[in-house]
């Protein structure tokens, strides 16, 4: 690799390592982030400043560094869910508020559910949200219209969870869904289903997939 190639390679690596570290556990300062990823504190300060301006990083009340909204927007655009970029935050917030459950946008890819942005609901204690879950089977295009999925957490010891999802596109084969993790009992199902269907209608209207 040429000198400039190595320089750019290092910059890209720093970009990745910094974002990964922040996403894994928000550091309290640029200095703490530098310690964690083995970078110079001065470089890391410039890094944090630059990415805070661009919206990739943000500051919490106590100064901790957290992922910014541009991070999620970029991820959604890269997944082809860009038209949902604007709607994702208000939709998921409202879904969570209406159901009390953790709400998410996701894609069904073969026999995997790839989780995107999510809003943390109450019955989440003792649960970690994983970036993907294995499905027993890929739901049929027809049934994913509003469907309860059995999810397996990654790994051999992964626990089973249930989620209810609706297809966001009028073409359910696209695999784009909105859903909520179910709290483990069925008493909220009618309310969850109603909220999901409302969200689906809003999203379809927003991205031009309405009937």
By CB under 8 A, how many residues form the interface with other proteins? Answer: 91
Q: Identify which range of 15-23, 133-141, 156-164, 166-174 contacts other proteins by CB under 8 A.
A: 15-23
State which residue, 25 or 157, has the beta carbon closest to other proteins: 25
Contact 136, 150 (CB under 8 A): yes
Site for other proteins in 76-95 (CB under 8 A): 76-83, 85-95
Residue 2's φ and ψ, nearest 5 degrees, are -70, 170
Q: Identify which range of 18-26, 141-149, 150-158, 162-170 contacts other proteins by CB under 8 A.
A: 18-26
Residue 191 contacts other proteins per CB under 8 A: yes
Residue 120 contacts other proteins per CB under 8 A: yes
Query: Furthest-apart CA pair in the chain: how many Å?
Result: 63
Burial class of residue 99, CB neighbours in 10 A (0-12, 13-18, 19+): buried
Cα–Cα dist 33/133, whole Å = 30
Binding residue for other proteins, selected from 21, 34, 39, 56, defined by CB under 8 A: 56
Cα–Cα dist 130/201, whole Å = 27
Site for other proteins in 154-173 (CB under 8 A): none
């Amino acid at each position: 690799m040429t000198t400039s190639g190595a320089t750019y390679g290092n910059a890209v690596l720093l970009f990745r390592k910094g974002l990964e570290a922040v996403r894994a556990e928000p550091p309290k300062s640029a200095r703490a982030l530098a310690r964690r990823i083995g970078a110079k504190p001065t470089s890391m300060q410039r890094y944090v400043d630059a990415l805070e301006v661009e919206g990739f990083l943000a500051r919490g009340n106590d100064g901790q560094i957290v992922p910014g909204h541009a991070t999620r927007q970029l991820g959604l655009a890269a997944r082809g869910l860009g038209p949902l970029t604007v709607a994702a935050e208000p939709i998921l917030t409202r879904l969570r508020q209406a159901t009390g459950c953790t709400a998410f946008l996701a894609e069904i890819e073969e026999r995997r559910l790839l989780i995107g942005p999510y809003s943390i609901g109450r019955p989440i204690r003792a649960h970690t949200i994983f970036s993907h879950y294995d499905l027993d089977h890929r739901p049929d295009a027809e049934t994913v219209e509003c469907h309860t999925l059995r999810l397996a957490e990654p790994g051999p010891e992964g626990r089973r969870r249930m989620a209810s999802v609706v297809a966001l596109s009028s073409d359910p084969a696209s695999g784009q869904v909105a859903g909520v993790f179910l709290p483990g009992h069925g008493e909220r199902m009618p309310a969850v289903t109603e909220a999901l269907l409302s969200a689906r209608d809003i999203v379809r209207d927003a991205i031009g997939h309405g009937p």
